[in-house]
Structures are given as structure tokens and as C-alpha cells.
């Protein structure tokens, strides 16, 4: 009886795990995000960047060896180290809050009270479900309530949040929330039009499709303001 109970217990745990894995697989393939914050562990920065690179290098090597690749080949020898450096310093560098662009703002001396749109900001990010590139354009707008930011700051903010494992919806919201904080106004909007290589090059293999996401804050929720912004950016995004 006791043994039977244990067997049942183990079977139930097994089923639970299997169900969970299936659930997470489904979430991933449907590209559903779970929160607007990037899910990070509390000990995310216990290790220094160079320590992370050392560990990831071994992990990449392990993946390559498991795939049967010969790492003594000159062409492959440097790949684990290259990938590890690229993950930590480049494509996932935006996980590190120390790399967040400084929030230098200026007083709106011209009293320019209309909408300011920065369009066609080049965007490179990485899908967090497949670790494949997301490539596209971000269009960002705000209406100043007395504070302005340098134009390149908007590009830098897009770039910072893009350099994380991402879901496009979360990226769009993170850009808007950051600008709302910096500019001290809710009147901020962002539209992103992007290709996901996990959709274009694998799975459904649809090369033509792109994904559009938008977040409209404050006055941008009003029909006319939203229309004006969308007219400025007239989505005919070229990739
Ligand atoms: Zn994906």
C-alpha cells in the first residue's frame, strides 16, 4: 500500500512536470509574455560580467559538442567565447541596470507644445522564447509638459530595452514607461513594427509577416492625437 502510494505520488509529480513543460512550450510558441517587467532573479548581478562570460563559454561549448561539432576545427574554436561575450556585453547587455541611458532632460525653452515624433528607430532585439533575432523599427512620440529629452536619447532607450531577451509587447511598454518617467508626463506613445526570425525562418516560415505592437499613454489614447501620430509614421516599414 505504502509503495503503491509512493508510486502514485511519483507518477503525479511526473504528470505535473510534463503538463508544466507543455504549458510553457505553448506559451513560448505563441509568444505570450507573462509580465511587463523582464523576469529577473534577485541574484542576477552576483556574478561579474567576466565571470558570466566564463560560465556561458563552457555552456556553449557543451551545446556545440552535444550537436557533434568538432571544436578543434579552427573555424569553430573561438565560437563559445565569441557567443558568451556577445550575450553578456552586446545582445543581452540591456539586462544590466548600470547600462541604462542617463536621464538628462532639458527645459522646454521654445515652449513647443506639439507632438514630437522620432520615427524609424532601428531596432534589434532577441525573442525570449527562441533566442532568435527580432529586427524592426520603433516609432516613439511624446508631448512635452515642460521637459524635453535629446533626440538620440530616444534611440538609446529603445536600444537599451531591446538588448534583452524580449517579447515585443513588453518591449513596447517598457520604452513608454521609461520615457513617461524621464519626461514626467503620461503623454508618450510607441509603435513597433518588427520581424521575428523565429516566425520568418523556422516554424511557420512566413518571411513576409511582421508584428505591430503599440502602447498609447495619456493624450495619445484620444482619437485625434493617436490619429496624428499614426499619420506621421504611416507604417510602410522597410526591413
Ligand atoms: Zn520566438
- pLDDT tens, position by position, 46-70: 999 999 999 999 999 999 999 999 9
Q: Which residues of 204-229 are buried (b: 16+ CB within 10 A; e: fewer)?
A: eeeeeebeebbbbbbbbeeeebbeeb
The distance in angstroms from the start CA to the end CA of the chain is: 65
Task: Provide the domain count of the chain.
Answer: 2
Within this chain, do residues 177 and 61 fall inside the same structural domain, yes or no?
A: no
d(CA 133, ligand 1 centre) in Å: 8
d(CA 221, ligand 1 centre) in Å: 29
Q: 165: domain CATH number?
A: 3.30.1130.10
- Could you list which residues have their CB under 5 Å from ion ligand 1? 127, 129-130, 198
Within this chain, do residues 168 and 122 fall inside the same structural domain, yes or no?
A: yes
Within this chain, do residues 119 and 77 fall inside the same structural domain, yes or no?
A: no
d(CA 169, ligand 1 centre) in Å: 13
Provide the pairing of β-strand 165-166 with 115-127. parallel
Within this chain, do residues 66 and 161 fall inside the same structural domain, yes or no?
A: no
The residues annotated with a catalytic role in the active site are 127-130, 168, 196, 198
Residue 70 structural domain: 2-28+48-91
d(CA 32, ligand 1 centre) in Å: 10
Within this chain, do residues 79 and 140 fall inside the same structural domain, yes or no?
A: no
HEC per residue, 180-209: HHHHCCCCEEEEEEEEEHHHHCCCCCCCCC
Q: How many CB atoms lie within 10 A of CB 159?
A: 19
Q: Running DSSP on this structure, what letter comes out for residue 86? A: I
Pairwise CA distance, residues 81 & 56, whole Å: 8
Least confident of 9-13, 42-46, 220-224, 225-229: 9-13
Q: Which of 61, 91, 121 is the last residue of a domain?
A: 91
pLDDT at 106: 86
Least confident of 12-21, 25-34, 54-63, 88-97: 12-21
* Sign (positive or negative) of CA dihedral 158, 161, 164, 167: negative
- Give the whole-number percent of the chain exceeding pLDDT 90: 69
User: Is residue 176 in a domain?
Assistant: yes
pLDDT of residue 15 exceeding 70: no
Mean pLDDT, rounded, of the chain? 88
d(CA 66, ligand 1 centre) in Å: 23
Q: Kindly report the pTM of this predicted structure.
A: 0.84
User: Is residue 70 in a domain?
Assistant: yes
pLDDT of residue 170 exceeding 60: yes
Provide the pairing of β-strand 211-216 with 105-107. unpaired
Q: Which of 38, 61, 91 is the last residue of a domain?
A: 91
pLDDT of residue 16 exceeding 60: no
User: Is residue 122 in a domain?
Assistant: yes
Q: Which residue has the cell 532573479?
A: 41
Amino acid at each position: 500500500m505504502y509503495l503503491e502510494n509512493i508510486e502514485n505520488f511519483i507518477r503525479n509529480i511526473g504528470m505535473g512536470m510534463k503538463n508544466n513543460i507543455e504549458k510553457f512550450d505553448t506559451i513560448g510558441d505563441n509568444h505570450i509574455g507573462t509580465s511587463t517587467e523582464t523576469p529577473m532573479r534577485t541574484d542576477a548581478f552576483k556574478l561579474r560580467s567576466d565571470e558570466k562570460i566564463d560560465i556561458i563559454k563552457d555552456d556553449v561549448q557543451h551545446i556545440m559538442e552535444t550537436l557533434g561539432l568538432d571544436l578543434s576545427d579552427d573555424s569553430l574554436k573561438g565560437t563559445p567565447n565569441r557567443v558568451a561575450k556577445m550575450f553578456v556585453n552586446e545582445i543581452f547587455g540591456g539586462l544590466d541596470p548600470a547600462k541604462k541611458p542617463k536621464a538628462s532632460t532639458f527645459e522646454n525653452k521654445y515652449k513647443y507644445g506639439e507632438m514630437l515624433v522620432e520615427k524609424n528607430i532601428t531596432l534589434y532585439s532577441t525573442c525570449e522564447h527562441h533566442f532568435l533575432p527580432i529586427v524592426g523599427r520603433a516609432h516613439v512620440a511624446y508631448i512635452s509638459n515642460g521637459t524635453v529629452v535629446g533626440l538620440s536619447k530616444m534611440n538609446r532607450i529603445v536600444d537599451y530595452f531591446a538588448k534583452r531577451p524580449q517579447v515585443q509587447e513588453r518591449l513596447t511598454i517598457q520604452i513608454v514607461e521609461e520615457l513617461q518617467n524621464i519626461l514626467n508626463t503620461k503623454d508618450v506613445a510607441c509603435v513597433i513594427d518588427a520581424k521575428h526570425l523565429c516566425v520568418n525562418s523556422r516554424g511557420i516560415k512566413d518571411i513576409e509577416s511582421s508584428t505591430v505592437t503599440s502602447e498609447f499613454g495619456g493624450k495619445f489614447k484620444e482619437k485625434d492625437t493617436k490619429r496624428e501620430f499614426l499619420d506621421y509614421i504611416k507604417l510602410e516599414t522597410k526591413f
